[in-house]
Each structure stands twice: as structure tokens, then as C-alpha cells.
């Protein structure tokens, strides 16, 4: 019993033994920790696990080598692709350049084709203008002669009636009236004979050209399938007599006094500008371009009236139609020379002086100076124009300048009127209407044929003559306004035949009230509003009078 106690006592006092790690796979003592499982393994299993590690390492190395090769191959392939891309871009650029050149070639061809068609159109327009002008001139001359023959027939009937009644006073009046008209009748018949002779000389050529034109139109457009529609439409339209009657009725409607514009000086010539965009009045009241004006500038009235003063001063007046705005235009001209007329086309002013025509913009800046260097062409006395040409008069001649090239186009000489003193003029229906202060008439001249076709007033006009005609203007209704310097009135006559429509003022009597004049001069027609307006300038009262159409 004593040994047992002793043994138990000694075992309880000894330190505990360190435990030995065993292999996870077998019961052998472990020699290390495996790299994959992080568990204790014996030497045999540990070597296997290490071998797997190196095998994995080799696989990774192989994969790295493969990746490196692929990366290099990718870089090489990317370089090739980049080169191919650059080559493709270059090709595209070359293709774009080729397309650009092709577009330019096509554009040039298009311009050439358009130019050729424009030339054809110009030739056709010129031919049409020439043929229609000749025919219109002949038609006008024939109608004048027809009216003259009617007057002669009426005269014979009235003479027979007076003789039958034994009214010697009426017979004397009729004979004296016809005696005064014989010169006009003879001139009308001479013009008609000359026009008919010229027409017969050109008839064969016109027929041939018209045949060529008809074949050209047939080739280009073919026969119209709607000819029957045109005929049906024509049957329901108004007759020419009805149209003429309505036109005559509108022409007979008089203009009435609207208002007056008071001025500081006597105005001589007038012109209307309907487009004043791009020009303003500065703080001093001077017309300048909008880009050179200050913030306090004011837009020009539109439309505006441009007037020259009798005393000439050093500027033109630029006015609103109602007179609320009054500005100055300092033009680059010789102000020592008188101004004998004004013309305006879009935003260009044509200022006529005895030696030349100066062209300026609305601010007065000179654009060009035109002089008709023509033998026998004296001082300029009047100016007018249409959209294509500007016309200036001197003696019995009218010179025409192209607004496109500024070159002289033609000179019209009225050989029938060797002693004429042609003045200011207007255009209407391809004709020039020009005043003649020697013969106290207004002559109607065809622009295309350069032929004198009529002189107003005629036997049917209701007037014997104008009382020193100074200026003319035409409105949209075909009414010709004539200012009579010595008659102190403004006549409204039909622009096509010169028949008297109505009169502003009292002929032969000076007056200062509304609708009365003292030596009226410049005329201008204002369009663009609800009603056309006629502006009359006259020296006597230092003001403009404005008349409005009904």
C-alpha cells in the first residue's frame, strides 16, 4: 500500500510531455506544414505537396510565357492594324479629295450650262423685246392715226352741220382748230408710214426667227396637252373692252390733297427711295451708314423722299413722307454746279449735273461718275431710268447707260425734233416719256426701237399744249403726271395716249393754299403704302404738297 502511494505521488509531481504533431494523411509524425493545405504532413506527403507547388509554378510560368508571346503578337498585330487603319484613312482622304475634285468639276459644268442657258434666254428676251417693241410701236402709231381719222371725220360732220345751220362763227372756230392740228396730223401719219415701212422690211426676218423659236419651244417643252383648258379659260375671262373700261375708270379717280411738308428752302427736284436699310441718321441729323453710327442714331424713314434745294447749299434733304423726320445727305459732288435732276434705284442715288452724273450711296459717298462722251451731246438737262438703264437728255438726244457695266448702251436722236430741248423723263411700258420745254410737249419714245411714237398733248388730249412742262412721273395705274412751270398746275394724263384725266391746281393761276401751286417743279410717286401718293415740289411756298390716291 505504501508503494502505491509513493508511485502516485511521483507521477503527479513530473512536468507534462509536449504533444507530437501527426501527418494529416497518415499517422506518421509530421515534419512540416504543406504549402497548399497549410496542414501538418509527414516527409513523404509533404514532398508530394511541394512537388505539386512547383508543378503549379511551372504551369504559371508557361502561362506567363504564352501570355507574353500573345501580347507581343497582339502588339505586332495592332501595329499592322494601325498601319492598315492609317492606310485606310489615307485612302478615304484620297477618295474625299477625288470627290471634292469631282464636285468642283460638276459645279463648273453646272455653271457653264447655266451660263449657256442664260445666254439663250438673253437672246430670246432680246428678240422678244425687239419684235414686240416694233409691233407695239406700229400698233401705237396706227391707233394714233385711227384717232386722228376719227377726229377728221368728226370735223367734217361738224363743219357740214355748221354750214347747214349757217353758223359762221362755229364754222370759223372749227376751221381754225383743224388748221392748228394739221401739223400734228401730218407728223402722226409720217411716223406711221415710217414705222410700217420699217416693219415690212423686217417682217421676213421676224417670221423666220419666230419659226425657229417655235421649233425650239416644241423641242424643249413639247405640245401642251392643256390647250383646250386654256381656250375654255379664255372664254370666261373678261373681254379686252371690259378690262380697258375698268382701267380707264381707275385712272379717272383723282388724287386729293393729304398734307404739306414745310421746309427751310425752295425744293427743286424730288426722288423716292423705298429701301433705306443699313443707313441711319446720326445725332447731328446727317445720313451715315449704320456700322459707322453711334448708339443714339435713328433709322432712316422708309420710304423716304430725297430732295435737292434750289439754292444748292451743300447737301440733299432726306425726309419722311409725313415730314416728321428731316435729315441731310452730304454728297461728294461739285456743289458749285447746279443739279438738273435726281434718280434713285434701290440704294443708289443718281445726281445729274450739266457735265456728268454722279452715283452715290444714301450717305452721299461717291460710287462712280458717268459722263456721256458723245459728239454733239451738250449739257445734261434731265435724268430718269428703269431697272436696267439710266437715261440722260440733252437737246434732241437721249443717252442710255447700263447700270450693270456703267457703259454707254445707245444714243437716241429725235431727228424729227432738231430744235427740241429735252428735260427730265420717266419710263413706262418700255417707253421713255420726256419733257420738251421748247415745243411744250411730252414725247413718248420706244426704248427698244428708239422711235418717237407720239407727242402729248394730241388732238384727243383735251389740251392744246403744256404750259412749259418741267418734270414727269408715272404711277402704277399708268397715269402720267406733268408739272407745268408757267401753268401753276399738275396735269394727270394717260401715259399711253396722252388724254387728259384731271388737273391739280388752277391752270394759269398762282395759289398758295392747299392744292394750289406757284411754279411747280419736281414730282415723285410714293408706293408701298395702302395708297399711292404724289409729292409735288414748288419754289413759291417752300413746302411740299402730298396728294393721296383714293
Mean pLDDT, rounded, for 279-289: 92
pLDDT at 326 over 60: yes
Q: How confident is the model at residue 459 (pLDDT cuts 50, 70, 90)?
A: confident
* Residue 279 cell numbers, joined: 443707313
DSSP 10-22: HHHHSPPPPPPPB
Position 423 scores a pLDDT of 96
pLDDT at 342 over 70: yes
d(CA 423, CA 545): 22
pLDDT at 406 over 80: yes
The Cβ of residue 230 has, within 10 Å, a number of other Cβ atoms equal to: 10
Q: How confident is the model at residue 445 (pLDDT cuts 50, 70, 90)?
A: very high
451: nearest Cα among 128, 126, 138: 138
Prior bond of 51 cis (ω within 30°): no
Q: Could you read off the pLDDT of 467-495 as tens digits, one per residue? A: 999 999 999 999 999 999 999 999 999 99
pLDDT at 213 over 60: no
Position 32 scores a pLDDT of 83
Q: How confident is the model at residue 541 (pLDDT cuts 50, 70, 90)?
A: confident
d(CA 94, CA 472): 65
Position 126 scores a pLDDT of 64
127 or 373: which leads in pLDDT = 373
Q: Could you read off the pLDDT of 139-170 as tens digits, one per residue? A: 777 777 777 777 777 778 887 888 888 888 78
Q: Could you read off the pLDDT of 53-110 as tens digits, one per residue? A: 788 778 777 777 776 666 566 555 555 556 666 666 666 666 777 777 777 778 777 7
pTM (whole model) above 0.85: no
CB 342 within 8 A of CB 306: yes
d(CA 486, CA 463): 15
Angle between helices 168-221 and 43-165 (to 10 degrees): 150
d(CA 377, CA 228): 55
Position 89 scores a pLDDT of 61
Q: What's the mean per-residue pLDDT of the chain?
A: 80
Position 176 scores a pLDDT of 74
Prior bond of 457 cis (ω within 30°): yes
d(CA 269, CA 220): 50
Position 4 scores a pLDDT of 42
CATH T-level topology, domain 249-549: Methylamine Dehydrogenase; Chain H (2.130.10)
pLDDT at 542 over 80: yes
Mean pLDDT, rounded, for 271-283: 92
211 or 283: which leads in pLDDT = 283
Mean pLDDT, rounded, for 496-522: 92
d(CA 491, CA 234): 37
Domain boundaries defined on the chain: 249-549
d(CA 120, CA 141): 31
Amino acid at each position: 500500500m505504501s508503494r502505491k502511494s509513493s508511485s502516485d505521488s511521483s507521477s503527479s509531481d513530473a512536468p507534462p510531455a509536449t504533444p507530437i504533431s501527426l501527418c494529416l494523411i497518415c499517422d506518421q509524425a509530421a515534419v512540416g506544414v504543406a504549402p497548399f493545405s497549410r496542414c501538418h504532413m509527414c516527409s513523404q506527403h509533404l514532398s508530394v505537396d511541394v512537388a505539386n507547388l512547383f508543378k503549379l509554378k511551372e504551369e504559371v510560368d508557361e502561362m506567363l510565357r504564352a501570355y507574353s508571346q500573345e501580347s507581343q503578337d497582339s502588339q505586332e498585330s495592332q501595329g499592322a492594324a494601325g498601319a492598315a487603319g492609317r492606310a485606310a484613312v489615307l485612302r478615304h482622304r484620297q477618295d474625299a479629295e477625288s470627290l471634292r475634285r469631282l464636285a468642283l468639276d460638276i459645279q463648273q459644268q453646272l455653271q457653264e450650262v447655266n451660263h449657256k442657258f442664260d445666254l439663250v434666254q438673253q437672246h430670246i428676251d432680246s428678240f422678244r423685246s425687239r419684235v414686240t417693241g416694233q409691233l407695239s410701236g406700229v400698233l401705237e402709231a396706227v391707233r394714233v392715226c385711227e384717232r386722228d381719222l376719227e377726229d377728221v371725220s368728226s370735223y367734217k360732220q361738224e363743219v357740214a352741220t355748221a354750214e347747214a345751220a349757217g353758223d359762221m362763227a362755229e364754222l370759223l372756230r372749227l376751221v381754225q382748230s383743224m388748221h392748228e392740228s394739221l401739223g400734228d396730223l401730218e407728223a402722226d401719219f409720217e411716223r406711221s408710214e415710217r414705222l410700217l415701212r420699217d416693219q415690212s422690211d423686217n417682217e421676213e426676218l421676224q417670221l423666220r426667227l419666230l419659226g425657229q423659236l417655235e421649233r425650239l419651244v416644241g423641242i424643249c417643252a413639247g405640245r401642251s396637252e392643256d390647250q383646250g383648258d386654256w381656250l375654255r379659260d379664255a372664254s370666261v375671262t373678261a373681254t379686252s373692252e371690259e378690262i380697258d373700261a375698268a382701267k380707264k375708270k381707275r385712272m379717272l379717280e383723282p388724287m386729293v390733297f393729304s398734307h404739306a411738308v414745310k421746309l427751310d428752302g425752295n425744293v427743286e427736284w424730288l426722288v423716292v427711295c423705298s429701301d433705306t436699310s443699313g443707313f441711319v441718321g446720326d445725332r447731328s441729323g446727317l445720313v451715315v451708314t449704320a456700322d459707322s453710327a453711334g448708339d443714339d442714331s435713328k433709322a432712316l424713314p422708309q420710304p423716304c423722299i430725297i430732295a435737292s434745294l434750289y439754292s444748292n447749299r451743300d447737301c440733299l434733304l432726306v425726309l419722311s413722307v409725313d415730314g416728321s423726320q428731316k435729315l441731310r445727305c452730304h454728297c461728294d459732288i461739285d456743289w458749285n454746279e447746279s443739279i438738273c435732276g435726281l434718280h434713285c434705284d434701290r440704294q443708289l442715288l443718281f445726281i445729274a449735273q450739266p457735265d456728268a452724273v454722279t452715283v452715290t450711296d444714301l450717305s452721299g459717298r461717291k460710287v462712280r461718275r458717268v459722263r456721256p462722251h458723245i459728239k454733239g451731246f451738250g449739257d445734261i438737262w434731265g435724268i430718269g431710268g428703269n431697272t436696267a438703264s439710266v437715261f440722260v437728255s440733252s437737246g434732241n438726244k437721249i443717252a442710255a447707260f447700263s447700270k450693270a457695266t456703267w457703259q454707254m448702251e445707245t444714243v437716241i436722236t429725235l431727228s424729227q425734233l432738231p430744235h427740241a430741248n429735252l428735260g427730265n423723263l420717266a419710263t413706262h411700258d418700255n417707253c421713255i416719256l420726256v419733257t420738251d420745254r421748247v415745243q411744250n410737249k411730252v414725247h413718248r419714245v420706244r426704248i427698244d426701237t428708239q422711235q418717237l411714237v407720239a407727242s402729248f398733248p394730241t388732238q384727243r388730249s383735251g389740251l392744246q399744249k403744256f404750259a412749259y412742262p418741267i418734270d414727269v412721273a408715272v404711277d402704277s395705274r399708268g397715269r402720267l403726271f406733268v408739272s407745268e412751270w408757267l401753268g401753276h398746275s399738275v396735269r394727270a394724263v394717260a401715259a399711253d395716249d396722252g388724254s387728259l384725266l384731271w388737273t391739280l391746281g388752277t391752270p394759269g393761276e398762282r395759289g398758295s393754299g392747299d392744292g394750289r401751286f406757284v411754279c411747280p417743279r419736281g414730282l415723285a410717286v410714293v408706293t408701298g403704302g395702302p395708297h399711292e401718293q404724289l409729292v409735288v415740289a414748288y419754289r413759291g411756298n417752300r413746302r411740299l404738297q402730298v396728294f393721296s390716291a383714293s
